[in-house]
Amino acid sequence: MPKTQPTFSVGIPTFNQADYLEETIESLLNQTRPPDEIVISDHFSTDRTPEIIRKYAGRVRGVVPPRGSNLTDQYNFTLASQTADWITLLSSDDIARPRFCEALTRGAASRDDAVLVRAGWENIDQTGRGIGVNYLLSVPKVESPPATLTSQKNGPKVSFAAFAVKREAYLKSGPILPALESLADWALFVQLAPFGTFVYEHELISGYRIGHDGDKYRRRLGMWIRDEMRMFAEVIPLAAQRAGLTDIAWIRAAARANFRRYLVGASRAFQPAERVEIVPLFEAWATAVAEEELLNRFRAGEILVTPVSLMGRVKALVRPFAQRLARYRR
């Protein structure tokens, strides 16, 4: 008997993005394999968002999260509001390519133990013009625990614009840690890591819009730092415990490596005179990973660098060409 195809749902968390929302909805309505459900979670938008949701009544379902929900609350609410076998989130300023649903459901149906499907995406600008393709060249076709977890020690190995998760696994793993302010997608993928395999579909399935909402780095640096600490103190250790890992020295090593990466980036982004306001953001993290001396060098105005191996330099040079060639991979 042919294998039953899973049902598939797309959730769109939104707030005041009416300029892009209609394009996002239309991209989902024009799929080679239409989604079984489109759920839009609108956090009390004051622009034309409610009007757009009403326009598509019958083709989308609008839901309203609790007033005052932060980003993670709204992600959890939107995921929990979906009813299909496999669910995903798509930002209300991104677009789904025509095979978005087809590729993700294909991956979902490929293995009974799959809990997450990931794919490639394209960065797009404010107008929707493509400005760079992103295939996940370093991930295998199928990845099993604990590699699903340990491979994410320096950040998510999944794009928020190109993924789907098994609803049953999401419910089993528990909601994303509510305290997280910005890195909720990474936490979602880490929490799912112990529960089954990750499948990769080698296809560009979405457009991820960047560069249209200001300087995220300066605006979100404090949130990112606080979330990094929460990830290494709470989310990753819990996932490691669930995965049966007893040697967790790698978690502390990864926390230290990420601290150094963030501080090196900040040393390039902020002039010495600006750093007096930045240093307090890093102090608790520096203490946790025993890097107070490096923070003092940052405070003193030093431009920090990360030693890069010869192989690292070669990879950096080759990567743009590898991304262009990846579209011909089968």
Summarize pLDDT for 94-152 with one digit per residue, the tens: 999 999 999 999 999 999 999 999 999 999 999 999 999 999 999 999 999 999 999 99
Residue 219 domain-assigned?
A: no
* Residue whose token pair is 């007033």: 67
Contact 88, 165 (CB under 8 A): yes
- 241 and 205 in a common domain: no
- 259 and 203 in a common domain: no
Token digits of residue 288: 């946790």
Domain count, the chain: 2
- 13 and 134 in a common domain: yes
Q: Which domain holds residue 69?
A: 8-209
pLDDT at 323 over 80: no
- 62 and 129 in a common domain: yes
Contact 239, 132 (CB under 8 A): no
Question: For the residues 58-75, what does the mean pLDDT come to?
Answer: 97
- 294 and 164 in a common domain: no
Residue 290 domain-assigned?
A: yes
- 177 and 289 in a common domain: no
Question: For the residues 28-36, what does the mean pLDDT come to?
Answer: 98
Q: What is the pTM of this model?
A: 0.93
Residue 36 domain-assigned?
A: yes
> What CATH number does residue 58 fall under?
3.90.550.10
DSSP string, 112-154: TTEEEEEEEEEEE-TTS-EEEEE--TTS-SEE-TTHHHHTTTT
Token digits of residue 246: 């007893």
- 120 and 72 in a common domain: yes
